[in-house]
Chains A and B, each alone.
Chain A
Amino acid sequence: DAGVIQSPRHEVTEMGQEVTLRCKPISGHDYLFWYRQTMMRGLELLIYFNNNVPIDDSGMPEDRFSAKMPNASFSTLKIQPSEPRDSAVYFCASSDQGSWLAKNIQYFGAGTRLSVL
């Protein structure tokens, strides 16, 4: 398996623009997680899905952020409108029920580095 695939790897945009980050989880995994990482706050969980259904979105900063998972192989994280304080590295991770119960292993993508000017 190719692992968790995120695109784009880098995104530079101007304040006020819409940004869409994409994630393809590992095939067969039924949990998908979106994280944000900054130097000041470390790794923060934004939202996670189970079987394409959002379970906990309490980490989503505000209404400008939204996430969808239309099918088991694709998820998006959208920021509209974007602001400079959204600049961070955004990670997607996936896990399967067996791994979770047995080991709690989450498999991470390489991340998207977002810069909002």
Chain B
Amino acid sequence: DAKTTQPNSMESNEEEPVHLPCNHSTISGTDYIHWYRQLPSQGPEYVIHGLTSNVNNRMASLAIAEDRKSSTLILHRATLRDAAVYYCILRDPLAGNNRKLIWGLGTSLAVNP
């Protein structure tokens, strides 16, 4: 699986937008970009995913670079509840029966009141 690189930590203020970057320079043409987040003392939860086009859902937006070598998770108005570790993961749904998700250490987001 292709590797992703994320900053170890980021900080934001409440009600301000947050842009969480992810580099994936070795991404293949069939890799989807997935984001999960892990709130304190909880298991990871799915946030959003995309292939080529930018994506929006109720939780966040995903902006994907034209060359797909990087992407950005956008939280439009950070709240204290958004303080979590955010993971960027690549996965090829056509990769046979290998269902593994390879997790890095993610970005720890702190939100200041």
A residues engaging B (CB < 8 A)?
4, 31, 33, 42-45, 48, 50, 55-56, 91, 93, 95, 100-111
Residues B43 and A101 in contact, CB atoms below 8 Å apart = no
Closest B residue to A55 by CB, please name it: B97
Q: Residue among B32, B87, B101, B106 with the most chain A CB within 10 A?
A: B101
Complex alpha-carbon distance, A43 and B100, angstroms? 12
B49 within 8 A of A: yes
Closest A residue to B49 by CB, please name it: A103
Closest A residue to B34 by CB, please name it: A104
Closest B residue to A101 by CB, please name it: B93
Residues A43 and B103 in contact, CB atoms below 8 Å apart = yes
Residues B93 and A106 in contact, CB atoms below 8 Å apart = no
Q: List 26 A-B contacts (CB under 8 A).
A: A42-B103, A42-B106, A43-B87, A45-B100, A45-B101, A45-B103, A48-B99, A55-B97, A55-B99, A56-B98, A56-B99, A91-B44, A95-B99, A100-B99, A103-B49, A104-B34, A104-B49, A104-B101, A106-B46, A106-B101, A107-B45, A107-B46, A108-B43, A108-B44, A109-B43, A110-B42
Complex alpha-carbon distance, A20 and B19, angstroms? 41
Residues A48 and B100 in contact, CB atoms below 8 Å apart = yes
Q: Kindly list chain B residues whose C-beta atoms are within 8 Å of the C-beta of A56.
A: 98-100
